């Protein structure tokens, strides 16, 4: 793992600064023969695009993907799949006054500490726009997973302090999550969140929240022992999304307070026996679909916390390059709450890891 390359077999490289010519990805190691059309990638990129409404960035990007290689007659060739997305909506002039100072909560300071200088135009590669390449690559992974009956769904389970209905709970409605601008699976919670976001917007402030994800249809056996556990791999992938501050699986942090007699998931069938239709293999799923870092075949469940958007309109104290105090008020076109746009990124990252683990699992037995 590291830098802009990720994965062991299903390997993705992303590239692109927020205000450079283009962003994109190259997926190496995708098996040959998977049905994939440009529209599969375009669809996921549209889900990631800035939308309308108070919660959204005002920057308009077409985000039309261009497939540069790897497809032939509607199928993957087994060769690298390169996708580029042009930057067309950027207005670098907006960022000119940030050239010599450091936005609080942003990576301006740390990138300069790391590299000695930085691309000050909109955050360069630490911009949320960097996720376009991830989503394009994730669409390739999703095509591979769909072919095998695996479906990923993420949603906003908390925004601006408002908790959404949980799976299995009253009012939980994933269709609703795709209808409202916040991707919250419950109409009332979405409306309450929007109301609070409007208040924050009035004060020039921003909000964070939590994204939840469910993977359905995973075969048992995915995940490598020790360092390559499915939780470690998915955890790294999700924590690599900008603004992510934590990740938990199954009962997560709440598991710390349960006794073993309650938390332990007991099997109802051995691995060699398929359960009857509509029957679960384990009695409970407190672990969220894995034991010892290897998938059980139950729903794989995790949640990720995201900090509030760092770009706020209200003035903040900072310093400039010479060390002098500088008040900063960010005028650009920014998301007040990035959570709904993070939803497809979380799905993409999980899809990339799972595609990799499926290929690795082919190597587990003689």
Instruction: Give helix 339-361 / helix 230-239 axis angle, nearest 10°.
Output: 150
Q: Out of 91, 115, 171, 179, name the contact with a copy of itself by CB under 8 A.
A: 115
Length reported for the chain = 366
How many angstroms separate the Cα of 252 from the Cα of each of 212, 344, 357?
12, 22, 22
Q: How many whole angstroms separate alpha carbon 81 and alpha carbon 27?
A: 5
Q: Out of 44, 63, 130, 176, name the contact with a copy of itself by CB under 8 A.
A: 130
Q: Out of 104, 167, 217, 332, name the contact with a copy of itself by CB under 8 A.
A: 104
Measured from the CB atom, the residue of 261 and 278 that comes closer to a copy of itself is: 261
- By CB under 8 A, is residue 209 in contact with a copy of itself? yes
Q: Out of 9, 166, 181, 198, name the contact with a copy of itself by CB under 8 A.
A: 9
Provide the minimum distance between the beta carbon of 49 and a copy of itself in the complex, in angstroms, as a whole number.
Answer: 20
Q: Out of 224, 301, 351, 354, name the contact with a copy of itself by CB under 8 A.
A: 224
Provide the minimum distance between the beta carbon of 339 and a copy of itself in the complex, in angstroms, as a whole number.
Answer: 9
Taking CB under 8 A as the criterion, which residues in 23-52 touch a copy of itself? Answer: 23-24, 26, 28-29, 31-34
Provide the minimum distance between the beta carbon of 133 and a copy of itself in the complex, in angstroms, as a whole number.
Answer: 9
End-to-end CA, the chain: 27
How many angstroms separate the Cα of 360 from the Cα of each of 29, 234, 352?
11, 15, 13
Letters for 318-337 (x = contact with a copy of itself by CB under 8 A, - = none) are xxxxxx--------------
Measured from the CB atom, the residue of 143 and 152 that comes closer to a copy of itself is: 143
Which residue, chain included where needed, has tokens 């290929």?
359
Measured from the CB atom, the residue of 10 and 176 that comes closer to a copy of itself is: 10
Q: How many whole angstroms separate alpha carbon 235 and alpha carbon 229?
A: 10
Provide the minimum distance between the beta carbon of 296 and a copy of itself in the complex, in angstroms, as a whole number.
Answer: 6
Q: How many whole angstroms separate alpha carbon 243 and alpha carbon 333?
A: 18
Taking CB under 8 A as the criterion, which residues in 241-260 touch a copy of itself? Answer: 242, 244-253, 255-260
Strands (E), 223-297: 244-249, 290-291, 294-295
Measured from the CB atom, the residue of 175 and 208 that comes closer to a copy of itself is: 208
Q: How many whole angstroms separate alpha carbon 173 and alpha carbon 315?
A: 39
Measured from the CB atom, the residue of 175 and 227 that comes closer to a copy of itself is: 227
- By CB under 8 A, is residue 307 in contact with a copy of itself? yes
Taking CB under 8 A as the criterion, which residues in 58-77 touch a copy of itself? Answer: 66-72, 75-77
Looking at 150-300, list the stretches that DSSP marks H as alpha helix, in order from N- to C-terminal side: 174-179, 187-202, 230-239, 260-263
Looking at 245-338, list the stretches that DSSP marks H as alpha helix, in order from N- to C-terminal side: 260-263
DSSP state for residue 230 in the 8-state scheme: H
- By CB under 8 A, is residue 193 in contact with a copy of itself? no
Region of 223 on the Ramachandran plot (φ > 0 left; ψ -120 to 50 alpha; else beta): left
Measured from the CB atom, the residue of 51 and 80 that comes closer to a copy of itself is: 80
Letters for 264-283 (x = contact with a copy of itself by CB under 8 A, - = none) are xxxxxxxxxx---------x
Q: How many whole angstroms separate alpha carbon 207 and alpha carbon 159?
A: 7
Q: Out of 190, 312, 350, 354, name the contact with a copy of itself by CB under 8 A.
A: 312
Going by C-alpha positions, the residue among 6, 121, 131 that lies closest to residue 63 is: 131
Point out which span in 56-64, 88-96, 108-116, 164-172 binds a copy of itself (CB under 8 A). 108-116
Provide the minimum distance between the beta carbon of 120 and a copy of itself in the complex, in angstroms, as a whole number.
Answer: 9
Q: Coil, strand or helix: which one is 47? A: helix
Measured from the CB atom, the residue of 169 and 271 that comes closer to a copy of itself is: 271
- By CB under 8 A, is residue 144 in contact with a copy of itself? yes
């Amino acid at each position: 793992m590291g830098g802009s390359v990720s994965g062991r077999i299903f390997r993705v490289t992303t590239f692109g600064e927020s205000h450079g010519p283009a962003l994109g990805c190259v997926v190496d190691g995708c098996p040959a023969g998977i049905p994939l059309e440009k529209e599969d990638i375009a669809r996921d990129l549209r889900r990631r695009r800035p939308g309308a409404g108070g919660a959204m960035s005002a920057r308009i990007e077409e985000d039309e993907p261009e497939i540069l290689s790897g497809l032939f007659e509607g199928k993957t060739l087994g060769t690298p799949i390169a996708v580029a997305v042009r930057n067309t909506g950027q207005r670098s002039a907006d960022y000119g006054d940030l050239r010599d100072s450091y936005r609080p909560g942003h990576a301006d300071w740390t990138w300069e500490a790391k590299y000695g200088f930085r691309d000050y135009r909109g955050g360069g590669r630490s911009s949320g726009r960097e996720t376009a390449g991830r989503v394009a690559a994730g669409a390739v992974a999703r095509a591979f997973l769909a072919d095998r009956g695996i479906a990923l769904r993420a949603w906003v389970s908390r925004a601006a302090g408002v908790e959404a209905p949980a799976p299995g709970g009253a009012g939980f409605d994933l269709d609703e999550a795709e209808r409202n601008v916040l991707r919250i699976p419950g109409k009332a919670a979405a409306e309450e969140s929007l109301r609070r976001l409007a208040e924050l917007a009035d004060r020039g402030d921003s909000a964070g929240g939590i994204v939840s994800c469910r993977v359905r249809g995973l075969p048992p056996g995915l995940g490598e022992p020790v360092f390559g556990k499915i939780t470690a791999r998915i955890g790294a992938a999700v924590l690599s999304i900008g603004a992510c501050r934590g990740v938990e699986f199954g009962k997560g942090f709440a598991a710390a307070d349960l006794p073993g007699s309650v938390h332990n998931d007991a099997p109802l069938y051995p691995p060699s026996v398929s359960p009857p239709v509509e029957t679960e293999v384990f009695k409970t799923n407190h672990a969220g679909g894995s034991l010892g870092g290897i998938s059980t075949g139950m729903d794989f469940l995790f949640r990720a916390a995201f900090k509030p958007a760092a770009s706020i309109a209200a003035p903040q104290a900072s310093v400039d390059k010479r060390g002098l105090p500088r008040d900063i008020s960010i005028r650009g076109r920014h998301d007040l709450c990035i959570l709904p746009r993070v939803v497809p990124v979380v799905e993409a990252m999980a899809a990339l890891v799972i595609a990799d683990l499926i290929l690795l699992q082919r190597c587990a037995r003689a």
